[in-house]
Amino acid sequence: MTRIEVVYDQVTNHQLPAWARVWLWALANANEHGHARAWPGELRRVLHANASDVSRAIRLARERDLLDPTSSAYCLVLPGRAIAPCEATHREAS
């Protein structure tokens, strides 16, 4: 099993809190600039959660400084990597 497969395994590990799983998803999917784009509904499907739970998980990960404050359900940004908030063109292009 590769490292990325181990990380993906943990994303679906419901023994971990959702904020940890959303951070792991960002680590596994981040591009070279630290941005992990998510398609609409993707995080809900991956985490088996509703939109409110995903928003709460992102907020808690941001509060723990695991994600940049600009992170949203469309683009999770690793800390220290955001130059500006993502725009729709970024979300569609990368």
Query: Domain total for the chain?
Result: 1
* pLDDT on residue 53: 96
Res 89 pLDDT > 50: no
The CATH number assigned to the domain holding 50 equals 1.10.10
> How is 24-65 classified by DSSP, letter by letter?
HHHHHH--TTSEEE--TTHHHHHHT--HHHHHHHHHHHHHTT
pLDDT single digits (tens) 40-87: 999 999 999 999 999 999 999 999 999 999 899 999 999 986 665 565
pTM here is 0.82
Q: Helices then strands (H, E): number in the chain?
A: 5, 2
Terminal C-alpha separation, the chain: 26
Domain span including residue 58: 3-93
Question: pLDDT band for position 2 (50/70/90)?
Answer: confident
